[in-house]
Amino acid sequence: MQLAGKRIIVTGGASGIGAGTVKAYAREGAFVCVLDRNDAAGEQVAAEARGYNAGEVAYFHCDIADPQQVFAVFEQAGARMGGLDVLANVAGVENSGAAEELAPEVLHAMWSVNIDGTVFTNQAACRLMREQGAGAIINFASDAALAGMPNSAHYAASKGAVLSWTKTIAYEWGVKYNIRCNTVCPAIRTPMYEAWLADLSEEDRQAHLAAEKLRVPIGGSMGDVDEDMAPVMVFLASDASKFIDGQIFCVNGGRNMVRG
Ligand SMILES: NC(=O)c1ccc[n+]([C@@H]2O[C@H](COP(=O)([O-])OP(=O)(O)OC[C@H]3O[C@@H](n4cnc5c(N)ncnc54)[C@H](O)[C@@H]3O)[C@@H](O)[C@H]2O)c1
């Protein structure tokens, strides 16, 4: 039980990486509050995680783009758990479009979840954590922020903002409150990736899968949520990583290597 006694909020816990993270945290003995805007799937993940009979698990509806919901739900979740040790802010959205055609409402929808949602959830977590003088925040960026992503410039830009925000609060809140903040750039098979793949033509899909084989040294494709991502999430939430702050963790089989 690497997370026994830890009080954790996971956003985006209804699907993909968030769902795998909720289950891993519950198995390791944490009290986990699952937040999402997809209530049916979120309740289902929470029920499954509760079934391990290890940690406690509660579900809350929360749209992270809505500041009123975020601050109210974090207060409720914090009161329920008696504080907050870790925020895993996994929720995010991705879609495609030619950079020169991206409409203001498309940009706004992307910024409001990936950028504003990161800022609001992090601020709400900080208000709970600073009272304790400790905490850990894990945000989600993307290799798209490091290497670019043709046909998804607004997504890449939103994740670039997550990296800059996280590096900044890693210092600011580290000094003031002993809150450490790190970023994950994953390449993991999830419903988000499957949806992206399904949007490609058959020819492009086959070309993509063939390119993956050459591009990814470990395994030749996207990783697995439970085997490849969840153990890293447990490490970043645990005291084993308590001296790690402001770093970028690329969990991608070596697809893009962070340049020094
Ligand atoms: N899967 C990958 O390989 C990959 C690559 C790069 C970055 N990411 C990032 O990792 C994170 C998780 O991605 P995933 O692949 O598990 O995606 P996913 O689509 O499987 O899950 C995302 C979850 O976030 C929730 N969500 C979306 N908007 C929300 C909002 N406004 N409020 C609350 N919940 C909301 C969705 O309902 C869903 O449950 C995202 O931030 C994504 O951008 C994933």
Domain spans in the chain, listed from the N-terminal domain onward? 7-188+229-242, 190-222
**Residue 53 confidence (pLDDT):** 82
Task: Give residue-wise pLDDT tens across range 178-215.
Answer: 999 999 999 999 999 999 999 999 999 999 999 999 99
CA nearest to 88, candidates 13, 169, 176:
13
Q: What is the pLDDT of residue 73?
A: 98
pLDDT at 209: 94
Centroid of ligand 1 to alpha carbon of 151 (angstroms): 18
| Ligand 1 pocket, residue 216 CB under 6 Å | no
Regarding the beta carbon of 64 and ligand 1, being less than 6 Å apart is answered yes
The pLDDT score that the predictor gives to residue 260 is 58
**Euclidean distance between CA atoms 35 and 9, whole angstroms:** 7
Q: Which strands sit side by side in the sheet containing 248-251, from one edge to the other?
A: 57-61, 31-36, 7-11, 86-89, 135-140, 179-186, 248-251
- In angstroms, what is the span from residue 24 Cα to ligand 1's centroid? 17
For residue 96, the CA-to-ligand 1 centroid distance in Å is: 15
CATH number of the domain located at residue range(s) 7-188+229-242 in this protein: 3.40.50.720
What's the CA angle centered on 247, arms 242 and 248, to 5 degrees? Answer: 130
Residue to probe by mutation, ligand 1, list 45, 113, 190, most atoms within 8 Å of CB? 190
What percentage of the chain has pLDDT greater than the value 70? 99
Residues of the chain short of pLDDT 70, as ranges, are: 259-260
How does pLDDT run across 33-67, given as a tens digit for each residue? Answer: 999 999 999 999 999 999 998 889 999 999 999 99
Instruction: State the pTM of this model.
Output: 0.97
Measured in Å, how far apart are the chain's first and last C-alpha atoms? 35
CB of 89 closer than 8 Å to CB of 95: no
Catalytic residues: 155
CA 115, 117, 121, 124: dihedral to nearest 10 degrees?
100
Indicate whether residue 122 lines ligand 1 (CB < 6 A). no
Atom of ligand 1 nearest to the CA of 14: 39
* Dihedral Cα 70, 66, 25, 251, nearest 10 deg: -130
Among the listed residues 63, 72, 8, the one whose alpha carbon sits nearest the alpha carbon of residue 39 = 63
Ligand 1 atom at minimum distance from 225 CA: 16
Report the residue among 9, 10, 11, 17 best suited for mutation to probe ligand 1: largest number of ligand atoms under 8 A from its CB. Answer: 17
